[in-house]
Structure 1
Amino acid sequence: MIRIITILFLLGCGVAYGQIYYEIDKECFNLRDINVSYPDKNILCNLNFGEERKISTQVIKNYLSKENWDKLPSTSSFVVVKRKGVLVKEDDLKNLFMGYLGKKFPDLTFEIVKVSTGVGITASAIEDISISFPDKPFGTVYVDLSNGIKNYKVYAYIKAFSRGYISDSKIEKGESVLGKIKEVQVEVTNLKDDLFLNNFDAIAIQPIPKNRVITLKMVRQMPEKMKGEKVKVIYNNGTIVLEFEAVLMDDAYKGGRVSVKNLSSDKVLTGIYREGIVYLE
């Protein structure tokens, strides 16, 4: 029994269970891997990392002159060739994905829920694997991997989270959101709209229930003056200057076009709003 499980080494190869075994660290198996005096001739190529292949000794003899046949190991009718490599495990892929996503999206955090390869993935080393994510790298995604020899497609389900805001209480349409929202970590995995990041004063353009994630489609910038407020109107054509009071027919933003109704004539006019005044065109 001991003789059966013992591995012997002969001419740089291992003999186990009557098989001749060669482990190489390159893509092709060469005659000189068997014997350095043999011709420099590749007899098996395109070996993937960690892959094992059998070669008949008769096939090897076809590459040699008969006087070199006696240098072949004679313990088996075939040899086993294996290329060195490591098996890439699920945790290895998760670490690779997290590293890639963290660098590309520093403002987001991620949770890799599931990874499925379907086949064994091997490489020369874990860090040698190249990764290509789709434009939206979270939710259900298929990630392209390459070990330099073979390409793989890996399924993953990835959750993404961002700093954002939710409604702390119900917000009515037209109300300011200030004081009615709170900052939290928001899951954006399946969020279709851009988050509101509270970088401007805003009012709701629709009723917003409590605990709802706030997106830009729910709000708009707080106007400097609201529709219905009174403003001064100035008309100046270089010769005639007129000033009168009017009511805004639109919300007014700096530099924005608005309509106003003259309080005296009820006539509707259009102008540009700047610093509390509407300048007629």
Structure 2
Amino acid sequence: MNGIVTKIGLASLAFASVVCSTVANAGEVLDRVLATKTLTVAVGTDWGAMSHLNEKHELDGDDIEIANRIAKYLGVQVKFVTPGWDLIAAGKWEGRWDLAMGQMTPTQARTKKFDFPAIYFYGPVVAVVHKDSKATKLSDLNGKTVGVGAGNITESYANHTFTPGWINAKPVHYEFTPGQVKTYGSSNVAFDDLRLGDGVRLDAVLGDDTISREAIKSGYPMKVLGQLFSAPGAIAVEKGDKEFSEKIGTVVNEMKKDGTLAKLSVKWFGVDYTVEK
């Protein structure tokens, strides 16, 4: 009797060992997602077309639809959480969420904390001028007064001190040399000065393409003069779970191949931002 029990016990332990080994090999994050049947995704409530609260007070946007498709691929439900961007970018998530949307730029510095299984967006930085501007090309801004957001990459670009820090970055070419660079708390504040008229306070504003087009759509008398460069936006996961990262990469790459990403980009932004231009 004791011998039989012992053999059964040993067999059970051996089976449990195999199961635990399999689970462990799956990686901590993937194991948790599959065990709870829930993929917890960090997004924003006020990130414009990326993610926002719609009229029904429900999360909606490009990031939301992509995250839903990732969860469906994994065979789990999606749960959205909305921490601040500073908390997302700081790392040390400690299981509070499994992946982050938000088009995080995959810089070399960030690779110490994160894996970037898939780039799903290329965010262009553009020069915007008043609708009455006679400028037709970027070089027409030589010697002109341009507005930029203080401390961001547009300020560095305008002052010719910008060095792309993301993975596989291409050299950035300076298309013009401003006569004066004015800094603002945000590009939206700079737009308010530009809307006063061509050359009244500014000749151009450098900013994010999506934000610029939203301003134009809302009635600002401006037009996009041209693109300066584009920075990649990636899905971020914490380092340490290779299998989880690979699965995320697989589903997003499939969405690229079948055109889903492009269709969602056009739906939410009016432009296909999924291909670097």
Q: TM-score band (shorter)? A: under 0.3
TM-score, normalised via structure 1 length:
0.22
TM-score, normalised via structure 2 length:
0.22
More strand by share: 1
Of structures 1 and 2, the one with the larger relative CO (CA 8 A, separation 6+) is 2
More helix by share: 2
